Amino acid sequence: MFSKKLLNNASYYLLWYAKDKDKTKYNQLFIAKDEQWFADNVGSHLWIENPENGESRKVTPEERGNIKELLQNLPNCKLYGTWSLNAQGTEKQKDYTYKGIPYFPPKGTQWKTSYPEGLDRLRDINRLQVEGNNLRFKIYFEDYPVMPQNNLWDKIGAASNKVFVVQTPEEIVKRCVLMTSQPGELVIDITCGGGTSAYVCEEWGRRWITCDTSRVSITVAKQRLMAAGFDYYELAHPEEGVSSGFKYMTVPHVTVRSIANNPEIKAGMKRDQIEAAIRKYADQETLYDQPVPDRNRARVSGPFTVEAVPAPVVRPLHEIPEHGGPGTVQAADQAVARSGETARQRDWRDELLKTGIRGKGGQRIQFSRVEPLPGTRWLHADAETKVEKPERVVVSFGPEHGPLDQRQVPLALEEAQTLVPRPRLVIFAAFEFDPEAAKDIDETNWPGVTLLKAKMNADLLTDDLKKKRASNDSFWLVGQPDVELRHLTSGQDKDKWQVEVRGFDYFNTRTGELVSGGTANIAMWLLDTDYDGRSLYPRQVFFPLADDKGGWARLARTLKAEIDEDAIEQYRGTVSLPFEMGSQKRVAVKIVDDRGIESLKVIRAE
Ligand SMILES: C[S@@+](CC[C@H](N)C(=O)[O-])C[C@H]1O[C@@H](n2cnc3c(N)ncnc32)[C@H](O)[C@@H]1O
Residues 6+ apart with CB under 8 A from 561: none
Write out the H or E segment, with its range, that includes residue 148.
strand 146-148
End residue of a domain, out of 444, 462, 478:
478
Kindly state the DSSP code that residue 184 receives in the 8-state scheme: T
pLDDT of residue 89: 85
Residue 526 Cα to ligand 1 midpoint, Å, equals 24
Residue 193 Cα to ligand 1 midpoint, Å, equals 5
Ligand 1 nearest atom to the CA of residue 163, by list position: 9
Tell me whether residue 497 is in a domain. Answer: yes
Ligand 1 nearest atom to the CA of residue 168, by list position: 8
Instruction: Could you list the beta-strand ranges (E) of 361-469.
Output: 364-365, 367-371, 381-385, 392-397, 425-430, 450-456
Residues 6+ apart with CB under 8 A from 302: 202
Tell me whether residue 225 is in a domain. Answer: no
Residue 311 Cα to ligand 1 midpoint, Å, equals 20
Q: Are 304 and 225 in contact (CB under 8 A)?
A: yes
Q: State how many domains the chain has.
A: 3
pLDDT of residue 558: 64
> What average pLDDT does the segment 33-56 reach?
91
Tell me whether residue 179 is in a domain. Answer: no
366, 451: one domain: yes
432, 557: one domain: no
Tell whether ligand 1 has an atom less than 6 A from the beta carbon of residue 196: yes
Query: How many C-beta neighbours within 10 Å does residue 579 have?
Result: 18
473, 483: one domain: no
550, 502: one domain: yes
407, 517: one domain: no
Pairing of strands 46-49, 56-58: antiparallel
447, 498: one domain: no
Residues 425, 164: Cα–Cα separation, whole Å:
36
Tell me whether residue 16 is in a domain. Answer: no
Distances (CA, A) of 389 to 274, 420, 512: 96, 17, 12
359, 413: one domain: yes
**Helices and strands per DSSP (H, E), number in the chain:** 16, 32
Tell whether ligand 1 has an atom less than 6 A from the beta carbon of residue 300: no
Residues 185, 206: Cα–Cα separation, whole Å:
5
Residues 6+ apart with CB under 8 A from 61: 44
CATH of the domain at 581: 2.60.40
443, 565: one domain: no
348, 463: one domain: yes
Residue 405 Cα to ligand 1 midpoint, Å, equals 27
User: In 3D, which of 16, 350, 334 has the Cα closest to residue 153?
Assistant: 16
Write out the H or E segment, with its range, that includes residue 566.
helix 565-570
Residues 371, 383: Cα–Cα separation, whole Å:
6
44, 122: one domain: yes
Residues 545, 523: Cα–Cα separation, whole Å:
5
Residue 367 Cα to ligand 1 midpoint, Å, equals 32
What does the pLDDT look like over 516-528, one tens digit per residue? 777 888 888 999 9
Average pLDDT, the chain: 86
Amino acid at residue number 226? M
Tell me whether residue 216 is in a domain. Answer: no
322, 444: one domain: yes
End residue of a domain, out of 277, 307, 327:
277
Ligand 1 nearest atom to the CA of residue 166, by list position: 1
Tell me whether residue 243 is in a domain. Answer: no
End residue of a domain, out of 431, 449, 478:
478
Residues 323, 331: Cα–Cα separation, whole Å:
9
What does the pLDDT look like over 318-332, one tens digit per residue? 544 444 444 444 444
Tell whether ligand 1 has an atom less than 6 A from the beta carbon of residue 164: yes
Tell whether ligand 1 has an atom less than 6 A from the beta carbon of residue 190: yes
Tell whether ligand 1 has an atom less than 6 A from the beta carbon of residue 213: yes
Residue 597 Cα to ligand 1 midpoint, Å, equals 17
| Confidence band of 505 (pLDDT split at 50, 70, 90) | confident
Pairing of strands 480-487, 497-508: antiparallel
Q: Could you list the residue range(s) of the whole structural domain that residue 423 is in?
A: 317-478
497, 359: one domain: no
Tell me whether residue 528 is in a domain. Answer: yes
Tell me whether residue 217 is in a domain. Answer: no
What does the pLDDT look like over 3-43, one tens digit per residue? 567 888 778 899 999 999 999 999 999 999 889 999 999 99
